[in-house]
A and B are shown apart, each in its own frame.
Chain A
């Protein structure tokens, strides 16, 4: 039985889909069987970032309504041999066309076959969010070092707690020099407010944008700083001893990053 992880944030544009794509790919690179599920029905993006848009035949709504078998709807990522699959969302329907129960059943089915099911959640806390979290065992809450994003992450963590889903924090798009000047929220500050375990931090990297547009997950390019961050996160999910920093260690983590990149 695999593990279903929902990637959520509340606020839009903080990098949920990018995170899903990269963590999914990174786990596949670690030789795990992974299926990514896009639950952003009506505004699907995961396929675009993965560069699999032109291979979609059936989607999540088709499976939920029994128009096809689950296996028929899965899109295989050939770069990863037989390790990485994706269940795309429908682009022509909306969030109300599936129920949380239907999504849960699909996720349960996927868990039988895959080691990890990564569920990409839409922004907001309405029906789409309910759909996405219904089948999840745990959650990754993505935030950026901005007040609005932290506020929404806090709200989402509260909702996840009510559902009994343990959440870990991923802070995305950190710009070390802005943090240093005090122009950006500090990682420590964010962790203090949100009071959940930190799974990892991802520095802002232009290559992420370039990679997303070309349909290649960043994580495949090991020279990118963000790629290393995502690989570390994947290893932590697998329980590896990449030191999962406690609240006090975060600046150290950042320094380690810089040292690694030779700019610290």
Chain B
């Protein structure tokens, strides 16, 4: 057996808890699981029906990998996989915490593309034929006349804000929308686009806090 144990087996009220290490290779886990079931813990695991709860830690696994896990355990007739869980909530939150805000000034002209990982603040215009995209939010302190794509790695919560909202096209995540077809810019103030039930909506920037629900602590009187 390898020096380091990647799988810890605990007895709990509901049955057995398999704690899988989330830092090692997945294949390594499979190999160790097989070994434990067939060799080292063979004695312990025989007997009546036992419910198995698998905890994956921070690891996210594909359906195929889930099937592999289940198959190995099912080979022992008396073991029944009750649940396979990862710390999903936490990982999802971590993914939305984009690293920082980048501030760039300049004009994105026709034929040019500005791409950034994280949030982006452009002090300047995006002209027709130009594209601005990033994995987080986009803020344009200028006229947005070209294409803007926020959350381009699948961030449905991303927004696109612009001082002058005149885009040829807006994209958030996988949703693509054209102005006037689906929404109309109201001229008056700085606006932002967001997804609501998978549809593009545009509203005044002052409404953004309703969506974000971030608490603001004001100091002073």
> Interface residues, chain A, CB within 8 Å of chain B?
147, 151-152, 154-155, 157-159, 161, 192-195
B91 located at the interface, meaning its Cβ lies under 8 Å from any Cβ of chain A in the complex:
no
Residue from B110, B127, B130 with most neighbouring chain A CB atoms (10 Å): B110
Contact of A154 among B110, B124, B143 (CB under 8 A): B110
Does more than half of chain A's interface fall in helix, strand or loop, or is it mixed?
A: helix
Specify which of A152, A154, A159, A194 lies most central, judged by the most chain B CB atoms within 10 Å of its CB.
A154
| Assembly CA distance A159 to B130 (angstroms) | 13
Is the Cβ of B143 less than 8 Å from the Cβ of A152? no
> What is the CB-to-nearest-CB distance from A189 to chain B, in angstroms, rounded to a whole number?
11
Given contacts A193-B125, A195-B125, contact A155 B143 (CB under 8 A): no
Asked whether, in the complex, the Cβ of B125 is within 8 Å of the Cβ of A151, the reply is no
Could you tell me if B143 and A158 are in contact, using CB atoms closer than 8 angstroms? Answer: no
Q: Tell me whether A152 and B107 are in contact in the complex, defined as CB-CB below 8 angstroms, given that A193-B125, A193-B127, A193-B145 are known contacts.
A: no
Q: Kindly state the separation between the CA atoms of A193 and B166 in the bound complex, as whole angstroms.
A: 12
Contact B143 A192 (CB under 8 A): yes
B112 nearest CB neighbor, chain A only: A158
List, sorted by A's number, 8 A–B pairs whose CB atoms are closer than 8 Å.
Answer: A151-B129, A152-B110, A154-B109, A154-B127, A154-B129, A158-B111, A193-B145, A195-B124
Q: How far is the CA of A154 from the CA of B168 in the complex (A)?
A: 15
Confirm or deny: B57 has a beta carbon within 8 angstroms of a beta carbon on chain A: no
Q: Which of A151, A161, A192, A195 contacts B110 (CB 8 A)?
A: A151
The residue of chain A having its C-beta at the shortest distance from the C-beta of B127 within the complex is: A154
**Complex Cα spacing A92 to B143, Å:** 46
Q: Is B155 an interface residue (CB 8 A)?
A: no
**Whose C-beta in chain B lies nearest to the C-beta of A10?**
B110
Nearest CB in chain B: distance from A36 CB, A: 28
Complex Cα gap A159–B107 (Å): 12
Partner of B109, one of A147, A158, A192: A158
Do the beta carbons of A155 and B107 come within 8 Å of each other? no
Q: How far is the CB of A141 from chain B (nearest CB, A)?
A: 11
A157 to B109, CA, bound (A): 8
Contacts of A158 in B (CB 8 A): 107, 109-112
Whether B111 lies near A155 (C-beta < 8 A) is yes
What sequence of 0s and 1s flags, for each residue 133-155 of chain B, a beta carbon within 8 Å of any chain A beta carbon? Answer: 00000000001010000000000
Contacts A192-B143, A193-B145, A195-B107 given; indicate if A155 touches B129 (C-beta within 8 A).
Answer: yes
Interface residues of B in 86-116 (CB under 8 A from A): 107, 109-112
5 tightest A-B CB contacts, nearest first? A158-B109, A155-B110, A154-B110, A155-B111, A154-B109
Task: Give, as a whole number of angstroms, the nearest-CB distance from A149 to chain B.
Answer: 12
Nearest-neighbour CB distance to chain B for A193, whole angstroms, equals 6
Considering the chains assembled together, what is the distance between the CA atoms of A183 and B111 in angstroms? 27
Q: Which chain A positions have C-beta within 8 A of B111?
A: 155, 158-159
Q: Is B128 an interface residue (CB 8 A)?
A: yes
A20 to B57, CA, bound (A): 70
- Chain A residues within 8 Å of B143, by CB: 192-193
Q: Which residues of B contact A154 (CB under 8 A)?
A: 109-110, 127-130
Q: How many angstroms from the CA of A161 to the CA of B110 in the assembled complex? A: 12
Q: Which residue of A lies closest to B109 (CB)?
A: A158
Within the complex, what minimum Cβ distance (angstroms) separates B64 from chain A?
Answer: 46
Inter-chain contacts of A195 with B (CB < 8 A): 107, 124-125
Q: Output the residue of B111, B112, B124, B130 with the most chain A CB within 10 A.
A: B111
How many angstroms from the CA of A12 to the CA of B14 in the assembled complex? Answer: 78
Contact A151 B128 (CB under 8 A): yes
A153 and chain B: residue at smallest CB distance: B110
Return chain A residues, CB-CB under 8 Å to B125. Answer: 193, 195
Cβ contacts B160-187/A at 8 Å (1 or 0 each): 0000000000000000000000000000
Could you say which residues of chain A place their CB within 8 Å of the CB of B127? 154, 193-194
Question: CB < 8 Å: which of B109, B124, B145 contacts A155?
Answer: B109
Once bound together, how far apart are the Cα atoms of A135 and B132, in whole Å?
A: 32
The residue of chain A having its C-beta at the shortest distance from the C-beta of B107 within the complex is A195
A164 to chain B, nearest CB (A): 14
Q: Which residues on the B side are within 8 Å of A194 (C-beta)?
A: 127
CA gap between A152 and B112 in the complex, in Å: 12
- Residues in A with CB closer than 8 Å to B109 are 154-155, 157-158, 161
Q: How far is it, in angstroms, between the C-alpha of A194 and the C-alpha of B109 when the chains are bound? A: 8
* Closest B residue by C-beta to A193: B127
Interchain CA distance A152-B125 in the complex, whole Å:
16
Residue of A nearest to B106 (CB): A161
